[in-house]
Chains A and B, each alone.
Chain A
Amino acid sequence: GENVEQHPSTLSVQEGDSAVIKCTYSDSASNYFPWYKQELGKRPQLIIDIRSNVGEKKDQRIAVTLNKTAKHFSLHITETQPEDSAVYFCAAWSGANNLFFGTGTRLTVIP
């Protein structure tokens, strides 16, 4: 089955700096890669996603890049704000029609 690895497990940045979280996947048939944000005590919520036929997608301060050849994708947050502090999960929909999550990155934005 699919194996999704996520790094780093924790990340601290100064407010206004950029944050980058990286994930790799193993199943070359995986075709859809969402990112979820989970605030403390809340449910995970989708913040951005990318499909396998696209290399990059942006939504305001958030962007995701995908390298299918290398089987890795990354989340980029620019101009970080304290409200960006949360746990972020990458995920991959595998060729077996199932969604596999990374182990999460705890992002702390220091005011």
Chain B
Amino acid sequence: EAQVTQNPRYLITVTGKKLTVTCSQNMNHEYMSWYRQDPGLGLRQIYYSMNVEVTDKGDVPEGYKVSRKEKRNFPLILESPSPNQTSLYFCASSLRGGGYTGELFFGEGSRLTVL
């Protein structure tokens, strides 16, 4: 089954404790992206990747890191989480960037709470 898998789905952590949210897709997609969703603000892009070893900042990259060492994986790293990073996070992938192939597939989301 074609899918984007995120883990963990739910996480409560404390300020400053490094964490990683994993994202994996099994569709051989080149484009992957991370979004955070907050009430009234919609989906804001954190980082995106056009292909392996190619990453770039989105609208709200501060406090986050990413890597794209393999095509299927695109982990989101919070080196020192703070309460303002409490949010619902979505990973997504598409065959290519630029809208050539249409659909962006989303993972199920990871709800992160930073105390």
B-binding residues in A (CB < 8 A): 1, 6, 9, 31-32, 34, 36, 42-46, 49, 51, 89, 93, 97-104
Q: Would you call B42 and A43 a contact (CB within 8 A)?
A: no
Count of interface residues, chain B, beta-carbon cutoff 8 Å = 23
Distance, CA A93 to CA B33, complexed state (A): 13
- Count CB-based A-B contacts (< 8 Å): 58
B81 partner residues in chain A, CB cutoff 8 A: none
Please report whether the interface of chain B is mostly helix, strand, loop or mixed according to DSSP. loop
In the bound complex, residues from chain B placing their C-beta under 8 Å from that of A45 are: 106
Q: How far is the CA of A49 from the CA of B94 in the complex (A)?
A: 14
Q: Is the CB of B58 within 8 A of A43?
A: no
Interface centre among B42, B102, B108 (most CB of A within 10 A): B42
Knowing A43-B90, A45-B106, A97-B50, say if A32 contacts B42 (CB, 8 Å).
Answer: no
User: Can you name the residue of chain B whose Cβ is closest to the Cβ of A93?
Assistant: B99
Contact A89:B43 (CB < 8 A) given known A43-B90, A98-B58: yes
Chain A residues within an 8 Å CB radius of B99: 31-32, 34, 51, 93, 99
CA–CA, A31 to B43, complex, Å? 20
- The residues in B between 66 and 115 inclusive whose CB is less than 8 angstroms from any CB of A are 90, 97-99, 102-104, 106-109
Question: Residue on A with the closest CB to B104?
Answer: A99
Instruction: From A31, A51, A99, A104, give the contact of B42 (CB < 8 A).
Output: A104
Contact (Cβ within 8 A) A102 B42: yes
Q: Which secondary structure dominates chain A's binding surface? A: strand
Q: Known pairs A32-B98, A49-B103, A98-B97. 13 more at Cβ < 8 A?
A: A6-B42, A9-B40, A34-B103, A43-B106, A43-B108, A46-B104, A97-B50, A97-B97, A99-B45, A101-B45, A102-B42, A103-B42, A104-B42
Tell me, rounded to whole Å, the shortest Cβ–Cβ distance linking A93 to chain B: 3
Do A43 and B109 have beta carbons less than 8 Å apart? yes
Chain B residue nearest to A95 in the complex (CB): B98
Is B104 touching A34 in the complex (CB atoms < 8 A)?
yes
